[in-house]
Structure 1
């Protein structure tokens, strides 16, 4: 247990873990204080996400590249997945779809753009593996196409029936999961030599014992699930009180909070001139959401949700995801970057954020 306690002692972010019991107690004593519960749950999820990411890194480091990649695929976005599952059980499909779109947009624009900007402010020119970035951006574009098709059919003059839309969504979900598995096999096994980093940077953190990492992973997963329930129950009323909508909360707030731990890692790597890691985290996380988390949620809705969920997004969300994937493709196509490239990428994200705040998308 000493490595965990030492990590908490020397990492100020983990001191916010004290908010976890505060949130759970507040839920019991003041269940009607929706705004307070919303703010506390958001603040509590951030250190839990960071601890979850830290434990996942330690487990993946001891299992080899292929299994480690699979672990990162399933656990790297576990915070967002648990929040979305809680919303799924509550039937808040607007929040679920907003969180999916928000994670894709935030990771491929905000996380990527901020990494390029922060790294570029320290280094004149930075380089990274163009092949790896192209693969991730291509997979992300594929996923946005899969989400575009049901939305286009629903908007057509001869609107497709609900049964057809659900059947199409299930078929596309299975296809996306298979595609993601093939992408992992391609990059981690059959053609791994194409994806070697420009520079090798070893881990500067001491890995935890496997038993401690697994125990922490299990405990934090339970806590994230509990706090996510509080978040989902309070978000609608809190959004009204704060003058925002659940769609804005899902696309902006949930994505920023759920990806906080990954963002810290990506930004730190960029400042150390390890842009391969930064780009890999940003695009890899977006791909995980699009090709793994989103289709899993569609399939899980048949077991957990009050009604089945489909891949039909409102037009504004589809447009943002498509623009984000195209922007990420253009930005990472050269394998080189400077600070202004990051600033331009961030500008696209800020445009979306301002638009959503002033005129939220309609469902």
Structure 2
């Protein structure tokens, strides 16, 4: 009990974490009223918020010991476990369009919304913020490679024919292997062979007390499992709740699911920006996007041969490819200087809002 005392103190003094009482209510409601989709949707969102804050707090404690580069990678990896678990469930059910929508939506949301909001939140408190532009360039370069890999299968003429379908499947497997290999080499480059280029800028504010490392790691593991469980309830209820709230399926798959799935990462990124630790924020936003594009998506393609009813490919619809490509170019242009202000965040968020508004107003027949 003594070992958990710092965690209990954190919960007592943070009112947002009091929303954790919704966790048992959520699972009890699911047990007795599994068809109350709107209520389950609201409860799952209320539960994910405090879990995200707790995950953010634990990640910051780990980042203090490991540095912002490793801390950002750790947060991105744990945060993406939620998207991976959700995608695996959809993969087993053969809902490949949902899998692709969640993957593309997560890339766009992390690259534009998380990065732009971090710039805005940090810029409102600090006049100018600096971060390591070498790290940002590496991540945007990886994202650009992933966008090319997503674009290539869509260039195949007559994709509905048997020959084209077989070619697309083989190409997807080859591209998946190349992307995973490139991501692994990128980790070696940034964390081992050239790690001196990826140190954070020393402008961080002194924060409050941190959790002990073992407790922080245990909290990261436990909260990640809880977020995954709550996310399953969220996915089960979101489509029916979307009808009640008047949201289109395209908007739900590309925007809502991505926002909720990335809540934990966003809490850490926004907290880091407020404390002038923009290296952590940029590392989480772009690192999460590149990890989804170069690792999670290719792994799902390969796993579809084992757990899916049929193999999945990397053929995304043109609108998704365009949004991923524009998001990558936006991130590259806005992070090339290594400095940020609040208005840079506004510009990035405007691109995201254009996409979100388009998907929200998309006619049903074109979704």
Distance verdict in 2 for CA 1:273–1:48, change over 3 Å:
closer
The offset of 1:321, in angstroms, is 0.5
How far apart, in 1, do the equivalents of 2:178 and 2:118 lie? 31
The offset of 1:316, in angstroms, is 0.8
Q: Residue 90 of structure 1 aligns with which residue?
A: 93
Q: Conserved in 1, the CA contact under 8 Å of 2:204 and 2:276? A: no
The offset of 1:216, in angstroms, is 3.5
The offset of 1:331, in angstroms, is 0.8
Q: Residue 139 of structure 2 aligns with which residue?
A: 136
Q: Residue 174 of structure 2 aligns with which residue?
A: 171
Q: Conserved in 2, the CA contact under 8 Å of 1:95 and 1:247? A: no
* CA displacement, residues 107-147 of structure 1 (integer Å, 9 cap, x when unaligned): 11111112222333333333222211111111111111111
Q: How many residues align?
A: 363
How far apart, in 1, do the equivalents of 2:310 and 2:159 lie? 23
Q: CA RMSD in A?
A: 2.8
* CA displacement, residues 290-333 of structure 1 (integer Å, 9 cap, x when unaligned): 11222222223333333322211111111100100011111111
How far apart, in 2, do the equivalents of 1:110 and 1:84 lie? 21
* CA displacement, residues 237-285 of structure 1 (integer Å, 9 cap, x when unaligned): 2233333234322221122222223223322332333332222222112
Structure 1 window deviating more from structure 2 (320-329 vs 183-192): it is: 183-192
Stretches of structure 2 lacking an aligned partner (at least 5 in a row): none
Distance verdict in 2 for CA 1:334–1:97, change over 3 Å:
same
Q: Residue 112 of structure 2 aligns with which residue?
A: 109
The offset of 1:286, in angstroms, is 1.2
How far apart, in 1, do the equivalents of 2:28 and 2:331 lie? 42
Q: How does 1:17-166 map to 2 (within 5 A)?
A: 17-55=20-58, 58=61, 71-72=74-75, 74-153=77-156, 161-166=164-169
Q: Residue 226 of structure 1 aligns with which residue?
A: 229
How far apart, in 1, do the equivalents of 2:303 and 2:218 lie? 25
Distance verdict in 2 for CA 1:276–1:171, change over 3 Å:
same
Distance verdict in 2 for CA 1:337–1:157, change over 3 Å:
same
Q: Conserved in 1, the CA contact under 8 Å of 2:111 and 2:285? A: yes
1:320 to 2:323 alignment = yes
* CA displacement, residues 73-124 of structure 1 (integer Å, 9 cap, x when unaligned): 5324222222222333333322221221111111111111122223333333
Distance verdict in 2 for CA 1:88–1:227, change over 3 Å:
farther
Q: Residue 314 of structure 2 aligns with which residue?
A: 311
Q: Residue 351 of structure 2 aligns with which residue?
A: 348
Structure 1 window deviating more from structure 2 (21-30 vs 304-313): it is: 304-313
TM-score under structure 2 normalisation? Answer: 0.87
Stretches of structure 1 lacking an aligned partner (at least 5 in a row): none
- For the residue of structure 2 that corresponds to 1:77, the secondary structure is helix
How far apart, in 2, do the equivalents of 1:59 and 1:335 lie? 24
Q: Conserved in 1, the CA contact under 8 Å of 2:73 and 2:283? A: no
Q: Conserved in 2, the CA contact under 8 Å of 1:82 and 1:224? A: no
The offset of 1:59, in angstroms, is 5.7
* CA displacement, residues 138-162 of structure 1 (integer Å, 9 cap, x when unaligned): 1111111111112232666978533
